[in-house]
Structures are given as structure tokens and as C-alpha cells.
């Protein structure tokens, strides 16, 4: 009995020491968690999560202040990846998921006020004061931040449609049940 206990105790001590050593030896510097979270976030920088950008939201998640289901552009896919990374439950998205969009300026109406330029977090709008503005489509993340500031409401969101360049092969449908 005593020997058994002693052996178990000894085992625990040895393993504990090994684990402790490993955690010192293989310590990871910095806070890669924030970076890992940020890598999952879509970088739309829209602020819909309630944070002024993706990085602050990532920081808030890793600090445990924010839930993982607040980023609508990331969609359920993003929530799933975050849950995977952090070992948390998958939760339904707070807001509803929208198809990907890009903004487009109605160029005939634009008065060149530059307000949208200031709002765009990723510098996807070009133009100068009193000149017509336009959006560089490939750079636009679809964050909608430029819609509100426009005094003449000439910015609209267009969903990105499927074309030959972004077309994807679909997941094979499994219809085993139907075959019966």
C-alpha cells in the first residue's frame, strides 16, 4: 500500500517536473494568440464588432473581453475557426450574414467632398477635393463605412456576383439516403 502510494507520488513529481521544464524550455515569446486571432479575422476593418478594427477586436477576444461571434463579415466560417483556435463553443453569429459586397460611387452624383475618402479604412477610394471620386474595386473590403458620410448618398453596395474567376467547384452532394 505504502509502496504503491510512494510510486504514484514519485511518478506525479517526475511528470510534473518534466512538464514544468518543458513549459520553460519551449516557452513562446510574445502574444501570438492575438496574431493568430487576427489572422482569422477578415480585415474588413468595419467596426461592426464594436471595436475600431480587427486588431482591437482580436485583442479583446484574447483578453477574454469579447465573444467570438461578433464579426459579421467573417461569417459563421470565421466563428467556427475562432472556436477551433480557442477551444470554445461555436456560437451563432450576432448579426446576420451578408453576401460579400463592394461599394460603388455613382460618379455622376459625386460632388468631390472627400468625406468618403476619410471614412475608408483601407484607402480604397481615390479622388481629390471637388473632383469625382471612385472606388478601386479590388481594394474595397465592403465595410460600408463610406456610405454614411456621403452627403449626397451616391455610394451603394453591390454584392459580388459569381463569375468565372471566383467560381468554385461545389462540395459533392451525398445522397445515400435517397438512393435507398
Partner 1 sequence: MMNWTTPPYLLDGQASVRRVMLQVLVGLLPGIGAYVWLVGPSILLQLALATISALAGEALMLRLRGKPLSLFLGDGSAIVTAWLIALTFPPLAPWWLVVVGTLFAIVVAKHLYGGLGQNPFNPAMVAFAACIVSFPALMSQWPALGLKLTFAEQVSIIAGLAPRIDVMSGATPLDAIKTALKLGEGTVDVPTLLATQDVFGNFAGRGWEWVTTGYLLGGLWLWQRRIITWYAPLGFICGLSLLAGALWLWNPQGFASPLFHLFSGGAMLGAFFIVTDPVSGCTTSRGKLIFGFLAGLLAYTIRVFGGYPDGVAFAVLLMNLCVPLIDMYTQPPIFGMKNQR
Partner 2 sequence: MLAQLFGFKGGVKPQTNKAPSVQLPIGQAPLPSCLFVPLHQNIGGAPNPLVVVGEHVLKGQLIGGADGWVSAAVHAPTSGTVLAIEEHVAAHPSGLPTLSVVIEPDGRDQWIPRTALDHRSLAPERVREILRDAGVVGLGGAAFPSHAKLTPARAVPMQDLVINGAECEPFMTCDDLLMRERAEEIVRGIAIFRDLLGAKRVLIGIEDNKPEAISAMNKAVLRLAEDYAVVAVPTRYPAGGAKQLIRVLTGKEVPASKRSTELGVQCFNVATVYTAYRALAHGEPVISRIVTLTGNIEQPRNWEVRLGTPMRELIALGRPKADTDRYLMGGPMMGFEIPDLAAPVVKATNCLIAGSPALFPASPPEMPCIRCGACAEVCPHELQPFELYWFSRARNFGKTQEYHIFDCIECGCCSYVCPSHIPLVQYFRFAKSEIWSREREKQAADAAKARFELRNAREEREQAEKAERLAKAAAARGSERKPAPASAAVLPPTVEPVQPVAAAESAEAVSPSDPDTVRKATIVAAMERARAQREAVKPRNTEQLTVEQKNEIAAIEARRAALKPEPAAAQGGRADSATSQERPGE
Q: Which three cell numbers stand for residue 52?
A: 475600431
| Binding of residue 177 to partner 1 (CB under 8 A) | yes
Do 135 and 174 contact (CB within 8 A), yes or no? no
Residues 63-82 that bind ligand SF4 (CB under 6 A): 71-74
- Would you say how long the chain is, in residues? 180
Name 103's bridge partners.
157
x/- string (CB under 8 A) for partner 2, residues 44-83? xx-x----xxx-x---------------------------
Indicate the DSSP class of residue 40: H
Dihedral, CA atoms, 141, 142, 144, 145, nearest 10 degrees? 0
Q: Which of 87, 138, 151, 172 binds partner 1 (CB under 8 A)?
A: 172
Query: Quick one: 68 or 117, whose CB is closer to partner 2?
Result: 117
Nearer to partner 2, 4 or 128 (CB): 128
60: number of Cβ within 10 Å: 18
**Where does the chain have alpha helices with state H?**
2-25, 32-40, 54-62, 75-86, 115-119, 176-179
Q: Binding string to ligand SF4 for residues 92 to 131, with x set by CB under 6 A, is what?
A: -----------x---------------xx-x-xx------
| Residues of this chain that bind partner 2 (CB under 8 A) | 38, 41-45, 47, 52-54, 56, 106, 108-111, 113-115, 117-119, 121-124, 128-129, 138-139, 141, 145, 148-149, 151-154, 156, 162-164, 166-172, 174-176, 179
Amino acid at each position: 500500500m505504502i509502496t504503491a502510494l510512494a510510486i504514484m507520488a514519485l511518478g506525479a513529481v517526475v511528470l510534473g517536473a518534466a512538464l514544468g521544464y518543458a513549459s520553460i524550455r519551449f516557452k513562446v515569446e510574445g502574444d501570438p494568440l492575438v496574431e493568430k486571432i487576427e489572422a482569422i479575422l477578415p480585415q474588413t476593418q468595419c467596426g461592426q464588432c464594436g471595436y475600431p478594427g480587427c486588431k482591437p477586436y482580436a485583442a479583446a477576444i484574447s483578453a477574454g473581453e469579447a465573444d467570438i461571434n461578433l464579426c459579421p463579415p467573417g461569417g459563421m466560417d470565421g466563428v467556427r475557426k475562432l472556436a477551433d483556435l480557442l477551444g470554445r463553443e461555436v456560437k451563432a453569429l450576432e448579426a446576420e450574414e451578408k453576401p460579400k459586397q463592394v461599394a460603388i460611387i455613382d460618379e455622376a452624383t459625386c460632388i468631390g467632398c472627400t468625406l468618403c475618402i476619410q471614412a475608408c479604412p483601407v484607402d480604397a477610394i481615390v479622388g481629390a477635393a471637388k473632383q469625382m471620386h471612385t472606388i478601386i474595386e479590388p481594394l474595397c473590403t465592403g465595410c460600408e463605412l463610406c456610405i454614411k458620410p456621403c452627403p449626397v448618398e451616391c455610394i451603394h453596395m453591390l454584392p459580388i456576383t459569381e463569375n468565372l474567376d471566383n467560381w468554385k467547384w461545389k462540395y459533392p452532394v451525398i445522397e445515400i439516403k435517397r438512393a435507398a
